[in-house]
């Protein structure tokens, strides 16, 4: 492992790389696994002659890992990357992409909200020469109105402040050619907003619209706190506009103060001193106090980012890579 690389060494495969890798991050998805593979396998068997499924167990607290290891005895293509704790979906996806060996990879959720029926279509586009194929939600009917509204506001803001174009409602259901995977993995930053990184690396991209179905089993792991944190991460990773904003606000306030100051000076010179003004004074003090705190907070967001980057920590830690061939003793003791 090179010192400045965020990933562990990769295993080489003697039997030749698969054509397609499915990369699936899972966190407490035990209830839906049978259904997931029951749906995926027939589709994959029909779609390609050689595929693998890389499931990343992102610190599940239930028996997800146990179930996966059991499933390995019947699914020869199943490889399980077991992370040492919950690192979050973005990191888990990166771990999966690092361990996958396919000529292309398709990343999808374990809850079948990314309909596998689209996979043949995605592969067809890839074989046509597109290096990235992204599934875009045609509508967000399965989301609440509040979540829909905040998603719209988020994409509007993100596109307004960053130089790149982000496709609204593109999920993490996408096909990536090997060149895209390598470009993505070569990016050194530690705070990662995957969608942004994929947009940044570029390549020929095709969009497929689809209806996003309800979760097949279990419940969503993304509450508003997590979504807000991801949104702040996205915006601060792809734009320095929030920093510059305070320069503009400062300029406007300085100009205003100058004119108001001149006005008060003139008035005092002409009409003499005028003591009352407590209300305007306290309002001004509070207003500028608030603005100061806000702008320091924004600064802190970026300083925090620098702090995270300089620590050079890996994105995730792998406890163990479970290859199908070494899963003979099903349900064995785990380290």
Among Mg ion, ligand UDP, none, what binds residue 121 when CB lies within 5 to 8 Å by partner kind? none
User: What phi, psi does 320 have (nearest 5°)?
Assistant: -165, 145
C-alpha pair distances (Å), 275 with each of 27, 271, 272, 280: 65, 12, 10, 12
- Residue 189, token pair as written in the block: 């930053």
Q: Which H/E stretch holds residue 107?
A: strand 104-107
The four Cα atoms 310, 315, 316, 321 give a dihedral, to 10 degrees, of -130
Cα(51)–Cα(133) distance, integer angstroms: 18
Among positions 45, 138, 209, 222, the unique one binding ligand UDP when judged by CB under 6 A: 222
Q: Which is nearer to Mg ion, 80 or 108 (CB)?
A: 108
Q: Edge-to-edge strand order for the sheet containing 170-177?
A: 205-210, 132-137, 170-177, 104-107, 20-26, 51-57, 78-83, 318-322
The 106-145 site mask, x for binding ligand UDP (CB under 6 A), equals ---xxx-x--------------------------------
Which 3 state secondary structure label does DSSP give 316?
Answer: coil
- Please list every residue from 98 through 117 that binds Mg ion, using CB under 5 A: 109, 111, 113
The item of Mg ion, ligand UDP, none sharing an interface with residue 92, based on CB under 5 to 8 Å by kind, is ligand UDP
By beta-carbon proximity to Mg ion, the closer residue of 18 and 25 is 25
Q: How far is the CB of 104 from ligand UDP (least distance, A)?
A: 20
**Planar angle of CA 98, 103, 107, nearest 5 degrees:** 55
Using the rule CB under 6 A, give the single segment among 85-93, 193-201, 279-287, 289-297 that binds ligand UDP.
85-93
Report if residue 322 touches ligand UDP, rule: CB under 6 A. Answer: no
Number of residues that bind ligand UDP (CB under 6 A): 16
The answer to whether 205 and 264 have CB atoms below 8 angstroms apart is no
Say how far apart CA 5 and CA 7 lie, in whole Å. Answer: 6
Q: Which residue has the tokens 């991050």?
A: 25
* Rounded distance between C-alpha atoms, residue 240 and residue 161, angstroms: 8
**Residue pair 68/80 in contact by the 8 Å Cβ criterion:** yes
Q: Which of residues 91-110 bind ligand UDP (CB under 6 A)?
A: 92, 109-110
- Minimum distance, C-beta of residue 212 to Mg ion, in the bound complex (Å): 9
Q: Is 29 in the site for ligand UDP (CB under 6 A)?
A: yes
Stretch that binds ligand UDP, among 41-49, 219-227, 276-284, 307-315 (CB under 6 A): 219-227
Span interacting with ligand UDP, options 4-12, 14-22, 130-138, 217-225, rule CB under 6 A: 217-225
Smallest CA-to-CA distance from 123 within 45, 232, 8, 16 is with 45
Q: Which two tokens stand for residue 69?
A: 């290891």
State which residue, 101 or 137, has the beta carbon closest to ligand UDP: 137
C-alpha 71/C-alpha 65 separation (Å) is 10
Indicate the residue among 58 and 177 with the shorter CB distance to ligand UDP. 58
- For residue 154 the two structure tokens come to 């988020």
Q: Which of 39, 48, 86, 205 binds ligand UDP (CB under 6 A)?
A: 86
CB 55 within 8 A of CB 81: yes
CB nearer to Mg ion: pick between 113 and 295: 113
Give whichever of 219 and 274 is closer to Mg ion, judged by the CB atom. Answer: 219
Work out how close the CB of 291 gets to ligand UDP at its nearest, in angstroms, rounded to a whole number.
34
Site string for Mg ion, 208-247 (x = CB under 5 A): ----------------------------------------
Enumerate binding residues for Mg ion (CB under 5 A): 109, 111, 113
Enumerate binding residues for ligand UDP (CB under 6 A): 25-27, 29, 58, 86, 88-89, 92, 109-111, 113, 220-222
């Amino acid at each position: 492992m090179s010192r400045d690389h965020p990933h562990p060494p990769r295993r080489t495969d003697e039997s030749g790389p698969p054509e397609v890798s499915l990369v699936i991050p899972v966190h407490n998805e035990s209830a839906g696994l049978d259904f997931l593979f029951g749906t995926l396998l027939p589709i994959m068997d029909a779609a390609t002659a050689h595929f693998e499924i890389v499931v990343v167990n992102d610190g599940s607290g239930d028996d997800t890992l146990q179930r996966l290891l059991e499933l390995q005895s019947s699914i020869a293509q199943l490889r399980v990357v077991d992370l040492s704790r919950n690192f979050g979906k973005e990191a888990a996806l990166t771990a999966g992409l690092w361990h996958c060996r396919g000529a292309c990879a398709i990343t999808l959720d374990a809850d079948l909200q990314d309909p596998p029926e689209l996979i043949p279509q995605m592969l067809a586009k890839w074989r046509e020469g597109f290096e990235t194929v992204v599934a875009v939600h045609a509508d967000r009917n399965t989301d609440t109105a509040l979540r829909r509204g905040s998603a719209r506001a988020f994409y509007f803001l993100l596109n307004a402040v960053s130089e790149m174009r982000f496709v609204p409602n593109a999920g993490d259901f996408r096909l990536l050619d090997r060149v895209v995977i390598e470009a993505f993995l070569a990016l050194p930053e530690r705070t990662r907003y995957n969608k942004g990184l994929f947009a940044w690396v570029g390549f020929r991209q095709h969009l497929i619209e689809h209806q996003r179905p309800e979760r097949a089993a279990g419940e969503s792991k993304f509450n508003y706190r997590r979504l807000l944190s991801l949104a702040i991460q996205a915006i601060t990773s792809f734009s320095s506009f929030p920093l510059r904003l305070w320069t503009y606000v400062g300029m406007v306030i300085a100009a205003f103060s100058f004119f108001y100051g001149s006005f008060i000076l003139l008035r005092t010179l002409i009409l003499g001193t005028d003591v009352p003004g407590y209300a305007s004074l306290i309002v001004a003090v509070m207003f500028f106090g608030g603005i100061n705190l806000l702008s320091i907070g924004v600064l802190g967001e970026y300083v925090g980012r620098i702090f995270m980057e300089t620590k050079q920590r890996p994105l995730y830690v792998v406890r163990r890579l479970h290859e199908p061939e070494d899963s003979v003793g099903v349900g064995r003791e785990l380290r």
